[in-house]
Amino acid sequence: MDLATTDLWPIGGDAFVDLHRLTGLRTSFRLTFQAIAASREIEGSRAHFFWGYLIPSACPARAVVGAFDFAPCAGIALGMLSATPEQGPNGVSFLRAWIAPRVSGRLGLALGKGFAIEAEVGLEVPLVRGRFVFGDEVAYEVPAVMATFGLGLRYDFRQ
């Protein structure tokens, strides 16, 4: 789930493949597919938003202490943002590129038998910005910086 810095509460999910070293700095590379949806209502008008993107990222090191692991990471979200009005004046559908460098920290807790809970907190900086409006009301404006949060279950297939 990602939380944008607006009054929208976008909810979504992702799937990823993570390649990492088991020794040394434990460098890792991850490719994530993420899909997020949200809706916004203003004065009887509604707009639906959808983000879909790939996020290649790298974590130069991973610290492991007991059952916990932590990795600082950097990547870039590459995809699109679409908005579709359901009703209302001057609502125009659009499809825009979503290109956003991001930094994050991942914290994992090993549960055993290859399973771990992972939380990720980060910041994205969208390079393509714009707004979606109904009449004079802004339904969504792409922020200069966007906070992200994710919580999920991780499984290591080598177990």
Domains and CATH numbers, the chain: 11-155 (2.40.160)
Residue 80 has a pLDDT of 94
**Tokens standing for residue 75:** 């990547």
Q: What is the mean pLDDT of the chain?
A: 85
Contact partners, residue 20, CB within 8 Å, separation at least 6: 26, 27, 28, 29, 59, 62
Compute CA 64 distance to the chain's CA centroid, rounded to the nearest angstrom.
24
Contact partners, residue 66, CB within 8 Å, separation at least 6: none
Question: Which of 102-106, 116-120, 133-137, 150-154 bottoms out in mean pLDDT, i.e. has the lowest?
Answer: 133-137
Is residue 6 predicted with pLDDT exceeding 70? no
Question: Between 103 and 39, where is the model more confident?
Answer: 103
35-44 average pLDDT score = 82
